[in-house]
Structure 1
């Protein structure tokens, strides 16, 4: 088998595996309401596989440096979420999503031009969440309407995720770890949810899912920082494993806390 054919087959396999994982998670999101949906959406279901595939092709130093670039991008994602939530109250899916993505791209361009340290990446996350979390609070509680699935939903989600994986894998060899880390954190799950859910259940209900994602994104930021620290010391496998454990444990803790608060409210 030629090297070109082997690369193509491997790339297609990676795209299919990741797309299947993300589509499954997004279906769970639709059926579970905004709180559980947000916790599922903020698991590393697109960034995680992208980093795993990067780790298969690059050394631990590459992964650690990529995580350093991804950390401030997590702050850009919460600002993307805030932009969408505000726009979705009055505008359609295309305007709201494009406006949010435009903010993300602008912030990513600025982030790319800065030489980041771990402390700097953590600081910009603290500032972004301190601004966004209070502003998002009033948009979090919206009743989720019944969702009727359309024929193109799963193909659209799968194609969005597969495109991201293909871009990260093929581009990482020549763009370097910094841009690879930025691309890996592109919020493909959020944008696919915006484009698919908004036309069916309305902007406010879709915005409620995004608004509830702030807590999960905090855990994702901590996990990314841990990749930078652990990958450089213990290797990519241990670093990514610790990051995954942090994300899952953090979101389970948020779920437990939300259930406890609900139990206190109910008579």
Structure 2
């Protein structure tokens, strides 16, 4: 088998695996309501496979540098969510989504101009989430209507995430760890949710999923920081596992807190 054919087949396999992760997570999201949907959406179902495949091709130093670039981008993502949530209450999908994407692109373009340290990346996240979480709180509680899936939903999501993985894997060697880290956490899951759900169930219910994602995204940022530190100390495999464990533990904790709050509210009523 030629080297080019081997690369193409391995790339297609990577794309298929990543697409399967995202499609599964987004289907669960549609059926579980905005709270559970947000917890699923903020798991590393898109960034995780991208980083795993980067770790196969590059050393721990590359992954650590990529994580440093990803960390402040997480702050850009929460501002993207805030933009969409605010506009989706009264505006259509085109205006809401285009504005949200524009905010992410502008912020990501600014962020990539600087060399970020771990401390600076964490500070950017704390400031961003300190601003956005209170502003998003009022949009979290909206009932999710029943979603009737259309034939193109699954292929569309699969193509989105598979394309992302192809770009990350194919370009990482010449764009370097910083750009790879930025591309790796492009918000594919949120993007597909906005584009697919908004015209079918309306802006406010779709926005509720993103509004509920704020605390989960904060945990995702924490996981990126854990990955950076752990990869340097223990290598890529352990670092990626610890990052995944951080995300899962964080979201399970949020789910448990939410369940207790609902139980107390029912008892009080």
TM-score of the superposed pair, with normalisation by structure 2: 0.99
CA distance in 2, matches of 1:87, 1:130: 20
SS at match of 1:23: helix
SS at match of 1:143: coil
Match of 2:157 in 1: 157
Give 1:106 deviation, angstroms: 0.3
Q: Deviations over 1:33-62 (max 9, x none)?
A: 000000000000000000000000000000
Instruction: Report the equivalent of 1:142.
Output: 142
* Deviation at residue 233 of structure 1 after TM alignment: 1.2
Q: Can you list the C-alpha shifts for 1:4-45, whole angstroms capped at 9, x where unaligned? A: 000000000000111011101100000000000000000000
1:61 aligned partner? 61
Deviation at residue 94 of structure 1 after TM alignment: 1.9
Q: Residue 113 in 1 paired to residue 101 in 2? A: no
Shift of 1:95: 1.6
Runs of 5+ consecutive residues of structure 2 not aligned to the other structure:
none
C-alpha separation in 2, matches of 1:141 and 1:193: 17
Aligned to 1:233: 233
Q: In 1, distance between residues paired with 2:263 and 2:227?
A: 35
Task: Give 1:96 shift.
Answer: 0.9
- The aligned residue for residue 20 of structure 1 is 20
1:44-123 matched pairs, under 5 angstroms:
44-123=44-123
Q: Provide the secondary structure at the position in 2 that maps to 1:164.
A: helix
Q: CA deviation at 1:91?
A: 1.3
- The structure 1 segments of at least 4 consecutive aligned residues displaced by more than 4 Å after TM superposition are none
Instruction: Please state if 1:243 is matched with 2:243.
Output: yes
The residue number in structure 2 matching 1:259 is: 259
After superposition, the CA RMSD in angstroms is: 0.5
Once residues 218 and 131 of structure 2 are traced to their aligned partners in structure 1, the CA distance between those partners, rounded to angstroms, is 13
Q: Distance in 2 between matches of 1:4 and 1:94?
A: 40
* Counterparts of 2:95 and 2:7, CA distance in 1: 37
